[in-house]
Amino acid sequence: MTTAELEDLRRRGFGIAYRMLGSVSEAEDVVQEALLRMHRAREQGEEIRSPRAYISTLVTRIAIDELRSARARRETYVGEWLPEPIVGPAPDDPAAEAELADSLSMAFLQMLERLTPEQRAAFLLHDVFGYSFDEVARVLERSEASARKLASRARTRVTEGAPRYEVEREEQQRLAERFLAAARRGEVKELEALLTEDVELHGDGGGEAPALARPLFGRTRVARTLLSWLSLVDDTPGIEIEVETVNGHAGAIARDENGAVISVISFDIADGRIQAIRSIVNPRKLTHLGPSVNLADVLARVREARVRKHAARRARRK
């Protein structure tokens, strides 16, 4: 097997595993295990006519088992659980990136949490990756009728509150830039004008870093909360917030003066406004992006800087 063929299998497997699990690290582990199993099967003389189908089957089955234990862990998760973010181009076939972008969004991945592992697998394989129900049935080791029923139930649950993404990527990026610029300037009215009336703000610290205890709703509350957070950023030299592609859509990444990741933010945008904002500050969910820093440590530095600033002012007055 050539390097290109192996990379194709790895990319395909990761696309399925990540959507199943919402975790970059877990998805990579699943794909590695699937590739090892395929290698062992070939060494033992098993004929594998379609490596892509073989890997897809293995990845799906391993991910279902992993998801069962992951769901148990999430029941004890501190605060709101959000997927691990993917920053930059989607890890799928570039030719299919536009079609697959919506299935990578934070909102979509969160909606998948409503499904059983088997429902999630049937829905993703058929509706997202284009497998026939006959193929889905073989992967799940069920009848075709059962596979259809699983996907149908999943589709109903997922599409009930599915967000709309009708904005071109370039326009999403421009809106994100305008939003961050208004926030940095402290312009509340301009900021509110970029948000829908019922905008949502979500945060994931996982008990590791300071974050919202529960989602916030409403234009005014969300705008003022964001301005309060960004005022801390302005008080901390070296922190940069840059617009990025996060899970196939507009987002941003905050780094400290050493380039360590503090937070990744994703925006849900429709009809020219932001309808949801999700911020991941749990450092465990950012390590795949490089060095990360805990927001708690950043805030401690902010407090120390403010104390020094106030002390210097008092000293000058004397």
Q: Where are the domains of the chain?
A: 3-159, 169-310
Q: What is the pLDDT of residue 165?
A: 57
Give pLDDT tens digits for 3-12. 999 999 999 9
The pLDDT value recorded for residue 227 is 86
Q: Looking at residue 245, what is its pLDDT?
A: 92
pLDDT < 70: residue spans in the chain: 90-100, 161-167, 232-235, 318
Task: Write down the pLDDT at residue 91.
Answer: 62
pTM of the model: 0.89
Residue 268: φ, ψ to 5°: -100, 120
Q: What is the pLDDT of residue 146?
A: 97
Q: Cite the beta strand spans of the chain per DSSP E.
A: 195-204, 216-217, 240-246, 249-255, 261-270, 273-280
pLDDT computed for residue 166 by the predictor: 58
Asked if the 169-310 domain carries CATH number 3.10.450.50, the reply is yes
**May I ask the CATH architecture of the domain 3-159?**
Up-down Bundle (1.20)
User: What's residue 111's pLDDT?
Assistant: 92
- Whether 298 contacts 292, CB under 8 Å: no
User: Any alpha helices (H) in 90-165, and if so which ranges?
Assistant: 97-100, 106-112, 117-123, 133-140, 144-159
* pLDDT score recorded for residue 203: 95
